[in-house]
A and B are shown apart, each in its own frame.
Chain A
Amino acid sequence: DAKTTQPPSMDCAEGRAANLPCNHSTISGNEYVYWYRQIHSQGPQYIIHGLKNNETNEMASLIITEDRKSSTLILPHATLRDTAVYYCIAPYDMRFGAGTRLTVKP
């Protein structure tokens, strides 16, 4: 079973920040955490990745705890088009887990 865990679903109001948590308690010190999303049945799309520092790009921000056991993906102003399944990936999983189904509501 995957050691990376995410809540199965979350809702967010349009225009508000969406905060998606991920636990990766057994990640090694030199392993990155990657985030992808899959909109409907399209191919997964890369969002962001990080090692231990917080990261930001044009899509999202990634906050990684100091002990690296968990991280939070932040979509600062969620839109309806952000409705998707969000996957947090760590190397030891060797697969994409079930992810979090984010529904952005008007």
Chain B
Amino acid sequence: DTAVSQTPKYLVTQMGNDKSIKCEQNLGHDTMYWYKQDSKKFLKIMFSYNNKELIINETVPNRFSPKSPDKAHLNLHINSLELGDSAVYFCASSDGTVLYQETQYFGPGTRLLVL
């Protein structure tokens, strides 16, 4: 069984569109994260949710809106997509809430290309 899964794996879309990426974890963890990995390969945290509550919100445009229907799911909705949003987006989960002091388990990534 896949511990952290993401859909879709690939997403190609036009500028200005709205799209969503879904993430699910079956590890029973309380905390989930969204990361963005850009073309320079730096992995930057975007959001973190603990038990459906937002605990980390880095400097991310408000076109990005995470939603956590339950603690096993964290979805990322992106409005008015821009070329600069092209990247790989990773979902992760951990048991605790202390960033980088808990083992994180990552999903396979969603490769977003905005044309």
Chain A interfacial positions (CB closer than 8 Å to B): 31-32, 34, 36, 38, 41-46, 49, 85, 87, 89-91, 93-98
Residues of A within 8 A of B98 (CB): 91
How distant is the Cα of A85 from the Cα of B106 in the complex, in angstroms? Answer: 15
**Tally of contacts, chain A with chain B, CB under 8 A:** 52
Q: In the complex, which range does the number of interface residues on chain B fall in?
A: 20 to 34
From A34, A91, A96, B43 is in contact (CB under 8 Å) with: A96
Q: Which 3 A-B pairs have the closest CB atoms?
A: A43-B106, A96-B43, A91-B100
Given A42-B108, A42-B109, A43-B90, is A31 in contact with B101 using a C-beta cutoff of 8 Å? Answer: yes
B111 cross-chain contacts in A, Cβ below 8 A? 41
Q: For the complex, what is the distance from the CA of A97 to the CA of B37, rounded to whole Å?
A: 11
Taking a contact as CB atoms under 8 Å apart, the answer to whether A91 and B99 are in contact is yes
Beyond A41-B109, A43-B108, A94-B99, 12 extra complex contacts between A and B, CB < 8 Å: A34-B103, A38-B43, A42-B108, A43-B4, A43-B109, A46-B104, A85-B41, A87-B43, A90-B100, A91-B99, A95-B44, A97-B42
Q: Which B residues have a C-beta under 8 Å from some C-beta of A?
A: 4, 35, 41-45, 88, 90, 92, 98-101, 103-109, 111
Chain A residues closer than 8 Å to B92, beta-carbon distance: 43-44
- Given known pairs A34-B100, A93-B100, the reply for A44 and B90 (CB within 8 Å) is yes
Collect the chain A residues with CB atoms within 8 Å of residue B41's CB: 85, 98
Asked whether, in the complex, the Cβ of B109 is within 8 Å of the Cβ of A45, the reply is: no
Could you tell me if A46 and B101 are in contact, using CB atoms closer than 8 angstroms? no
Given the complex of chains A and B, what is the CA–CA distance between A87 and B104 in angstroms? Answer: 13
Q: Do B42 and A96 have beta carbons less than 8 Å apart? A: yes
Residues of the A chain whose Cβ atoms lie less than 8 Å from the Cβ of B99: 91, 94
CB of B45 within 8 A of CB of A94, answer yes
Which chain B positions have C-beta within 8 A of A49?
103
Shortest Cβ distance from B109 into A: residue: A43
Which residue in chain B gives the minimum CB-CB distance to A42?
A: B108
Q: Are B42 and A46 in contact (CB under 8 A)?
A: no
CA distance A44 to B104 in the complex (A): 9
